[in-house]
């Protein structure tokens, strides 16, 4: 598409093309500047027309508004739960009472840093690299 081999892009639904409205706006703008039409079947939008671009901008405004509302409601819900004495996050379980095995990525990276320091003459215990 970016090389101009196609005249148009036909998609079934906008959310199948981009993850966010910002990404969608930038990509649609890039394609339309190159003379490539962008058409969405489900939303019945043709971005090569002024009415299609207006409709798209209105959809983007509503999507942004909805995201902001969800964010505000989530923050308010967490605040209200804390006021009622609830602690956010998963409940503490039996696995939280005993010390976890030190393995995996964090431990491997700590061992690498320890080896590099030992080559330079600095000998520290592995615990100093894990914090």
55-78: pLDDT as tens digits: 878 877 887 888 889 999 999 999
Determine, yes or no, domain membership for 76.
yes
Contacts (Cβ under 8 Å, ≥6 apart) of 77: none
Asked whether residue 17 is assigned to any structural domain, the reply reads: yes
* CATH number of the domain to which 15 belongs: 3.40.50.1390
Q: Which domain holds residue 61?
A: 8-83
Residues 6+ apart with CB under 8 A from 130: 102, 106, 107, 110
**CA angle (118, 119, 123) in 5-degree steps:** 15
Q: How does pLDDT run across 77-129, given as a tens digit for each residue?
A: 999 999 999 988 877 776 777 776 666 777 888 888 888 888 888 888 877 77
Per the structure block, which two tokens stand in for 26? Answer: 């930038």
CA distances in angstroms from 32 to 7, 27, 28, 39, 66, listed in the order given: 10, 9, 6, 11, 27
Q: Is residue 105 situated within a structural domain?
A: no
> Is 67 part of a structural domain of the chain?
yes
Domain assignment of residue 78, yes or no: yes
CA distance 26 to 38: 12
63 falls within a domain: yes
- Domain count of the chain? 1
Q: What is the pTM of this model?
A: 0.48
CA 27 to the chain's CA centroid? 17
CA distance 43 to 59: 10
């Amino acid at each position: 598409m970016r090389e101009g081999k196609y005249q148009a892009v036909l998609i079934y639904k906008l959310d199948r093309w981009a993850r966010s409205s910002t990404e969608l706006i930038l990509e649609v703008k890039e394609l339309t500047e190159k003379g490539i039409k962008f058409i969405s079947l489900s939303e019945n939008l043709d971005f090569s027309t002024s009415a299609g671009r207006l409709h798209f901008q209105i959809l983007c405004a509503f999507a942004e508004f909805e995201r902001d509302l969800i964010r505000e409601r989530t923050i308010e819900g967490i605040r209200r739960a804390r006021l009622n004495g609830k602690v956010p996050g998963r409940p503490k379980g039996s696995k939280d009472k005993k010390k976890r095995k030190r393995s995996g990525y964090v431990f491997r990276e700590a061992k690498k840093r320890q080896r590099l320091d030992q080559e330079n003459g600095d000998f520290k215990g592995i615990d100093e690299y894990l914090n």
